[in-house]
Structures are given as structure tokens and as C-alpha cells.
Amino acid sequence: MADAENIRRRIEVRLGQGEFLAGMLHVAARGSAQAQENYIDRLCSIAAAVRTILEANGLIGHIPYRPGAYWQELKGSSVAFLDGGVANIDLPSAAPIGIRVGSYIVRPGEADPETREQFNIELALVDDLYSNEGFLYDDDFADVAKLRDAARIVSETSAAWHLANRADAPDHILLHGPLINPVSPYGLDDFPGYELDACRSFLGDLSWNGGTEDRQFVGLYLEVLKRLKASGRSVVGVVERSIGKDPVVTRYLLHQLLDQSAVRKSDATEIIANLALYGLNDASLFDVVLQEGEYVGPVSVMRQGPENKWPDRWKAWIRDYPHALTTYLKPSELSAPFRVEAFDDIRDHRRALELILHTSRLLPSYGFPVGLDIVDKFAKVPEWMSRGVRGQHQVVLLQKALASGDPRALTFAKRVLATKGRDWFFRPSA
């Protein structure tokens, strides 16, 4: 009963903050009259049901917040936080890419500031995606945003691998974002592969000689992930905001319970149907189900989506992708839960969650690991740098147009670069 009251209270607080509005509209558009009328009650029932089932089956864990003792226990360990920053460059005629992955490695309890904290740029990548002499991709591609995304994903994972591969590798590595990303969107037919040198750089292996497919994003990313997993280090990805509609983790938990015959199929189906009806995803559901310091599962989730949506060419590769041991952790009553992903074989999952909880509680309102906030600020490409890169590309573009001798190319370049109609570029020629 106490759980149900707490759930209702949490729902009402979130309603007051504007949450569940999308769900309410969703119900208003599609739901029955009864569903619309008793929205809060229904929400409470769903959440209470989920909590009852999970709790009964030991799928809700609790990490106590004990800062005084915990930080003393962590003395002597080292923790690395990783994040990537992407330059904000948008030009109509070029596709510059600027990525850097920063790390913040800290040794709690260490008195000497030099050895206590290290900030590094683990990887810095600047290239022109349209250029034939580019370092990164061996060809161009229409969807530049996908090229950048793919490059960012493999860069961040590569940086984690480099750290994990060091002799003095940190005891914990936390990535900002998912540990394992869906790869199907980047398995398109004409998606360019990476240059050999770029691959070797990502893998940290100058002797690597992978073939064409190995150098494609799907292949290369898999190789980096495998190496990272094989390192045996404690590596987790922490996802700040889960925006997907599909309650993936809830489904997986229910499937697991079905396999154990711990729940009826009809009950599991009804829960999933209600989640869909009320527009609840994992984050919003667990926000009201979980109490402070609680986490669900964890459960092993295959992150690549339904197999029928995989590109045929890459099905075998994608099947090889590791699963992510996934949970949602709610650090405090005030903050929403976030997703934490680890490899299936992580040695001490609970210890990792304890670290994440305690670092999140250092931001009591925001409720997210503070080390990731620090490295996010460190790695972020500042606007002045983006402007600089943008400016450089404009100069290169104009120089190339002038060198071509083609008046049409020059006119085009002028139009692209001019910001106003009346500009010295457009002075009438004789």
C-alpha cells in the first residue's frame, strides 16, 4: 500500500512539472473514454503493477547513499570519464568534420593535484568529408550527418578502448552515452568505409590489415567493441536522456519473467499494451516505479533492433554484436532515472552502479554523474574553434574556385560565401 501511495505521489509531482503531457494527448487522441477519464488512476495502476511484479521477482535493487563511507572506500582507485565533442560547422559546399574525445581521469583521495586529476584529449579528428584526400572516409556520401554520427560513435568507443588497453588503465571507465549503439542506420549500401590509416588509429594497432568490409562502420565498430569487452575492464555507458518511445527494457524484463514462468503471457501483454496506450517509455515508467537509489534488473538487451530491419549485407556482423547489460537507476527522489549499459560479463555491476549513484548525488538537483558533466564541458568544441574551422574552409573553398579558373565555380563560391546582397564580391565586373 505504501508503494502505491508513493507511486501516486510521484506521478502527481511529475504531472505538476508537465510530464506525461504527451501521454495524455496520446490517450486523448486514441484512447477510450474511460482511459481518458481516469488517466492518473490508470497510470498509478500500471506503475504499481509493474513494481509489484519486479519486486516479487527480485528485479528491483537498491543502492544506499552513504557518501561519508563510500568515498573513503574509493581511495586508491581511478575513474575515467569520457565524452566526445563535435564542432558545429555547417557549410553548403563542404562537409568539414571536427571531433574530439576528451577524458577526465581522477583519483579520489589523492592529495597531489597533478596526480589526482588528468584532463586529456584522447582523440582529435579534423577532416573534410568531401575531400578526395581525406583521412577518415574513403569516399563521400550524401547524408553528411550520418557520416559525422558514425565517426563520433567509433571515436568515443575507440578512446575508451585506448584507455582500457593501457597498463595503468583506470578501474572504471564511464562513457557519456550508450555503450553499444544501433548500427543498422550506418549499414547502407554506399556508406563509405574508413581509410586504412584511420582504422589503425581507431584500433591503436598499426599492424591491422582489415579488408574492405572490416573497414566499414559496422565491421570496424564491432571490432573496437570486441576489443573493449575483451579487456575485462569495468566500462559502462550512461545515457542522459532516453527519448525512444519503445519501452525496451520493460519488454525485456517481462520476456525474462515469461521465460521463468513468473508471469502470465496475458499479463505481460496487457502491461505492454497499456504502456503503449498511455505513451509510457522506460524512463517515464521507471521514474514513478522506482524510489531513490533503486535500479531495475539488470537485463541483457540486444541493442540492434528487430532483425528484419537489418541490412542484408550486414546481418551476420550485426548478429555478432554484444548485448548490453541494461538497467535504469534513479539516483534521487528529485531526479529522473537514466539508463546504464555495461557488457554482459562486467565483473562487478553493482560496484559500477554504486559509483554512478554517488557521482550523480554530487549534483543533487540534476542527478547525473558529475564526472560526465565535467568531461562534457572539457571536450566540447568551443564556438570560437568552430568559427575558426568554418572560416578556414571558406578560405579553402574560395582558393580552390580561383585556382580552377572556371568563372562559374568562382561565381558559385562568391554566392555561397556572401552574407549580404551588396558585398564587394558582387561588384559588377567590366
Among 373, 379, 381, 413, binds other proteins (CB under 8 A): 373
Q: Does 108 bind other proteins (CB under 8 A)?
A: yes
172-176 and 79-86 beta bridge pairing:
parallel
Q: Do residues 369 and 356 make contact, with C-beta atoms less than 8 angstroms apart?
A: yes
* 341: three-class secondary structure by DSSP: strand
Closest CA to 360 of 376, 327, 338: 338
Name, in order, each residue with C-beta under 8 angstroms of 293's C-beta and a sequence gap of 6 or more: 62, 63, 64, 65, 330, 331, 332, 357
The CA-CA-CA angle for residues 17, 10, 328, to 5°, reads 95
The Cα–Cα gap between 427 and 373 comes to: 49
The CA-CA-CA angle for residues 257, 262, 268, to 5°, reads 60
Residue 258 CB, nearest distance to other proteins (Å)?
40
Kindly report the number of other CB atoms within 10 A of residue 192's CB atom. 19
Q: Does 213 bind other proteins (CB under 8 A)?
A: no
* Nearest to other proteins of 351, 414 (CB atom): 351
Q: Using CB under 8 A as the criterion, what x/- string covers residues 36-75 for binding other proteins?
A: -------------------------------xx--xx-xx
Q: Does 411 bind other proteins (CB under 8 A)?
A: no
Distance set, CA 395 to CA 95, 183, 207, 339, 416 (Å): 14, 35, 37, 44, 12
Among 28, 37, 52, 109, binds other proteins (CB under 8 A): 109
Q: Total residues contacting other proteins (rule CB under 8 A)? A: 32
Q: Does 31 bind other proteins (CB under 8 A)?
A: no
Q: Does 426 bind other proteins (CB under 8 A)?
A: no
Closest CA to 157 of 122, 184, 128: 122
> Which residue is it, cell 539488470?
298
Q: Does 81 bind other proteins (CB under 8 A)?
A: yes
Q: Does 76 bind other proteins (CB under 8 A)?
A: no
Among 20, 39, 104, 217, binds other proteins (CB under 8 A): 104
* Nearest to other proteins of 174, 198 (CB atom): 174
- What is the end-to-end Cα distance of the chain in Å, rounded? 87
* Residues numbered 379-408 forming contacts with other proteins, rule: CB under 8 A: none
Among 261, 365, 419, 429, binds other proteins (CB under 8 A): 365
Among 141, 208, 378, 425, binds other proteins (CB under 8 A): 378
Beta bridge partners of 106: 79, 117
The interface region with other proteins, picked from 114-122, 128-136, 254-262, 412-420 by CB under 8 A, is 114-122
Q: Could you say which DSSP state residue 167 is in?
A: T
The CA-CA-CA angle for residues 129, 134, 140, to 5°, reads 40
Residue 393 CB, nearest distance to other proteins (Å)?
22
Q: Does 132 bind other proteins (CB under 8 A)?
A: no
Task: Report which residue type is found at 382.
Answer: P
* 48: three-class secondary structure by DSSP: helix
Q: Does 119 bind other proteins (CB under 8 A)?
A: yes
* Nearest to other proteins of 324, 356 (CB atom): 356
* Residues numbered 143-202 forming contacts with other proteins, rule: CB under 8 A: none
Residues found near other proteins in the complex (CB under 8 A): 67-68, 71-72, 74-75, 79, 81, 104, 106, 108-111, 113, 116-117, 119, 358-359, 361-366, 370-371, 373-374, 377-378
